[in-house]
Amino acid sequence: MKAILIHGAGGGGWEYHSWKPVLERRGMGVIAKDLLPAPDGLAKTTLADYVAQAKSWLPNKEPVVLVGASMGGIIALKVAETVRASAIVLVNSVPPAGVKSARTPTETFPAVVKWANGPIAETRAAMPDADEKAIQKAWRGWRDESGAVMNELYARVAVRKPTCPVLVVIGGKDTDISPETSRNVAAWATADVFEYAGMSHVGPLLGKRGAEVAATVATWVETKTAR
């Protein structure tokens, strides 16, 4: 089994640094790469570019589980439209079109969203459930993001309901994607739900309990894909 770990907007494969060793110890191969700008630059990068990249990471024959956090959740769902996945794990995922959100996003983003080298205080505020080492790592790792991609996400992206088993992981204190919205995603996908009280938007990956979440996810994957 190969786990394809797809990161969120403004992040990178490093977001899964707590998950990777846990999944590998459970016998899964792990791919956690960075989504890269399109050849014409970040301002010209679209969600379709990211979906194509994620598809290019897939092995030829080995079964895969698609894991997506935030923006990565939508990418995982788009990949699953044309690729047979054994299971999908959505971590505080951006909701697809047609799924009711707790709030309607109205923000419009510029061509390039400047997230790299921002105030560390903002990172610290976004990661109340993480230790200082993780906060420093995240602060150094944030990158600028494509405004076109962000505008697509805010307008909502149409995806087909997956036919494989789906797990939705919810941070109970997520202020970016509300727990209510994530529960609606789970209902839409007929998914299992693991909700963690007190966890932030990035907490399931970058928080102090990240390895614990990864182990629980691994057990779920093993159960759902056992033959």
∠ CA(163), CA(49), CA(28), 5° rounding? 50
What integer pLDDT is reported at residue 225 of this predicted model?
95
**What is the pLDDT at residue 61?**
87
Backbone angles phi and psi of 168, in degrees to 5: -110, 120
- Residues 85 and 77 sit within 8 Å (Cβ to Cβ): no
Q: Are 167 and 91 in contact (CB under 8 A)?
A: no
Q: Is 2 helix (H, G, I), strand (E, B) or coil?
A: strand
Task: Report residue 64 as tokens.
Answer: 């895969």
Place of tokens 């995982």: 76
Contact between 111 and 147 under an 8 Å Cβ cutoff? The reply is yes
Question: Residue 219 is which amino acid?
Answer: T
Three-class SS of residue 135? helix
Residues linked to residue 29 through DSSP beta bridges, in sequence order: 2
Nearest to 214 by CA among 35, 67, 7, 40: 67
pLDDT tens string for the chain (227 positions)?
999 999 999 999 999 999 999 999 999 999 999 999 999 999 999 999 999 999 999 998 899 999 999 999 999 999 999 999 999 999 999 999 999 998 777 789 999 999 999 999 999 999 999 999 999 999 999 999 999 999 999 999 999 999 999 999 999 999 999 999 999 999 999 999 999 999 999 999 999 999 999 999 999 999 999 86
Quote the CA–CA distance of 13 and 11 in Å, as a whole number: 7
**pTM, rounded to two decimals:** 0.97
Each domain of the chain, given as residue ranges in start order, spans 2-225
> Which one is the CATH code of 2-225: 3.30.460.20, 3.40.50.1820, 3.30.460.10, 3.30.70.1140?
3.40.50.1820
